[in-house]
Amino acid sequence: MTGAPAFAPVPLPSLPPGELTAGRLDPALRDWVSSPPLRALAEASGWQWPAEADTGVLLARLAQLSDAWDFRASRERNFIEGSPAEVGGRVIPDDLVTAAARSLGLAEAAAVPDGRFSALIVMAGLVSACVNRINRAAQLVADGLAADSVTVLTAHRELGGKEPAQARDLGFDDLFDEADAAVAVTQRAFSLGRPDGRAEPVPHPDGWDQSLWAASARYSWTASGTGPDVEVLTVPSAEPATRRTNSGDQLRYWAAAAGIGSGDRVLLLTTQIYVPYMQIEAMRVLGLGRGCSVLCSGVDPKTAVLALKDFGGRDYLQEIRSALRAASALLAAAREAP
């Protein structure tokens, strides 16, 4: 392929809570999934576009086909190799994937919406992600973002690869796991001292133990001036015997603990490549499940404190797959809603 293809921006499906019905979501999700960049990626992957009149079946079929874009194989995202994506013996050019990802909102962050938020929710992750996202949240608050509270959602996850060394290079003491990283970064980014409130039902074992997937914790700091209260919430897995905590677990656990409802407006913060997935997943968990308004914003190269990974075709396809799966789950949940 010569020269990068050009796609017009494709807005993410977004509806207010009162309009998150199957009837309203069906055309919005169909337009999104049938957009030129997604069709181009399907064609480049050698798929025959599913001739499905039912949008739910179409989404489910495309989510199934996108298993070919699963380059993680249950590993952390930072283990995705940088080589070009290959599906069924076909190499999918990086310039095509990057152009599609840019069009679909995985590359460049939009401006943070105006108005007051009930909560600013920061999704933690790898050490570098914690630093970038939590510092971005602190900067947004310093720049005048109106939020009643800031909550960093994390979980017990063993640090891997270069994370321990990176944490030490950044001036943090030896960190036990991701949850420790989230607390340490939050304290530094928001210039906080010891927590005013602290709840740790399970003490750390001497070494990493998978039983921690079931553990929770909460650290809180009460605002001393006009700023928001801050907390770090370590969320247990909904299925601790088989997997660690996922984003749905975190949002659901926090919303229940905070009593989030129809009068609330929530801003989620993650890295931009994950925004489409997080926006759609949050519409299901918080919009449908709790009746609140939810918007998602991302850290991009312009706002990152630490240099972001140079995302390639495999990274983008992986996260487009996540968005497809989330869209399928969202429409299914809307159809099942009373």
Q: Do 167 and 181 meet the contact criterion of CB atoms below 8 Å apart?
A: yes
Return the closest-CA partner of residue 154 out of 253, 260, 243, 272.
Answer: 253
Q: Which class in CATH covers the domain with range 119-307?
A: alpha beta
277 exposed, middle or buried (CB, 10 Å; 0-12, 13-18, 19+)? buried
Q: Say whether pLDDT at 214 is over 80.
A: yes
Q: What is the DSSP string of 26-71?
A: HHHHHHHHTSHHHHHHHHHTTPPPP--SSHHHHHHHHHHHGGGG--
pLDDT given at position 14: 86
pLDDT given at position 34: 97
pLDDT in tens, 268-302: 999 999 999 999 999 999 999 999 999 999 999 99
pLDDT given at position 3: 66
Q: Say whether pLDDT at 61 is over 90.
A: yes
Q: Do 94 and 84 meet the contact criterion of CB atoms below 8 Å apart?
A: yes
- Domain extent listing, the chain: 17-103, 119-307
What is the percent of the chain with per-residue pLDDT over 90, rounded to a whole number? 80
Give the pLDDT band (50/70/90) at residue 266: very high
Q: What gap in Å lies between CA 196 and CA 183, rounded to an integer?
A: 13
Give the pLDDT band (50/70/90) at residue 338: confident
State the average pLDDT over residues 151-162: 94
pLDDT given at position 50: 94
pLDDT in tens, 115-142: 999 999 999 999 999 999 999 999 999 9
Give the pLDDT band (50/70/90) at residue 225: confident
Q: Say whether pLDDT at 206 is over 70.
A: yes
State the average pLDDT over residues 212-238: 92
pLDDT given at position 1: 45
Give 198's strand partners: 219
Q: Say whether pLDDT at 189 is over 90.
A: yes
Q: Say whether pLDDT at 40 is over 70.
A: yes
Q: Among the listed ranges 170-179, 191-200, 316-325, which one has the minimum average pLDDT value? A: 191-200
Give the pLDDT band (50/70/90) at residue 207: confident
pLDDT given at position 81: 65
Residues 6+ apart with CB under 8 A from 324: 33, 59, 62, 63, 66
